[in-house]
Amino acid sequence: MMEEINNVFDPNYVPDELKVPYDIIELPSQGILYENKKSKVKLEYLTAMDENVLSSPNISNSDSVLDILLNRKVKDLGFDPLDLIIGDRMSLLIYLRVTGFGEKYPQSVWDVKNNKMVEGEIDLSKLEQKKLTVSPDENGHFDYELPISKQKIKFKLLTARDDKTIEERNKRMQERVKDNNISFIPTLRLEQLIHSIDGEKDKLKMSQTIARMKIMDIRKLNKYVSDIEPGVNFKTKVLIAGGESIDGFLRFTTSFFFPEL
């Protein structure tokens, strides 16, 4: 009885009947790249209170809805969810979508046989998870030698915070050249991704080197990063009318959390 009374005065106390159910989710990266080595997190289910967030026009129409959902639902990460690598973040968002709205996700797909777009459905529960299979160094960096120039690259896996930095820099550069039709994101992504080139870590010098990189080297590097990056494999089967399945690719947008039920 005394313990129950003491709990009432605890600012962190939540009665059992008000606690939101949660699952323990294993991160695809297994926490190897984080300072606290967090490999599993508590992820609460979406509730009526989250529907208030999803229904707010100023939030639902912006990319911030995904950040807000993770801030609300991830409970024991130990650091800002913005610093999750993108693959871990996507895995958690897909789990929230499945437990909140079900595993079926409608998406149109190109039907090669009939040469047209058709309506289809993806079973999100069947998306395969990719584990981290290449070990980073003690600083969380990975090694890669460019096949043509033979330059030795050290790179990191990008986080959601890195993505935001890239987007902000792209907007500033578009404003500088006064042309919103030009995207600087491919180059900016390389600058954010690469930690050193042949041991050189100076940002300005690396930026100049990246600008002169051969396009085949760039594509090979990007493919290697994609191959080793833990997360969710978005290549999947799309079920169309008649029970036929077509090879497809999950398109993840903010509308992911706004299904027609």
**Same domain flag for 46 and 149:** no
In the three-class reduction of DSSP (H, G, I as helix; E, B as strand; rest coil), residue 16 is classed as: helix
Ramachandran assignment for 107, one of left (phi > 0), alpha (psi -120 to 50 degrees), beta (any other): beta
pLDDT, tens digit, 9 for 90 and up, residues 187-221: 999 999 999 999 999 999 999 999 999 999 999 99
Q: How confident is the model at residue 260 (pLDDT cuts 50, 70, 90)?
A: low
**Same domain flag for 222 and 248:** no
Structural domain span for residue 75? 2-128+232-257
Phi then psi dihedrals of residue 165, to 5 deg? -60, -45
Which token pair is 20?
Answer: 């939101």
**Same domain flag for 46 and 101:** yes
Query: In which residue are the tokens 């059992």 written?
Result: 16
Nearest to 196 by CA among 135, 144, 149: 144
Report the pLDDT averaged over residues 159-171: 95
Q: How confident is the model at residue 157 (pLDDT cuts 50, 70, 90)?
A: very high
Q: How many domains does the chain have?
A: 2
Q: What's the pTM?
A: 0.84
Ramachandran assignment for 191, one of left (phi > 0), alpha (psi -120 to 50 degrees), beta (any other): alpha
Which H or E run contains 129? Answer: strand 128-130
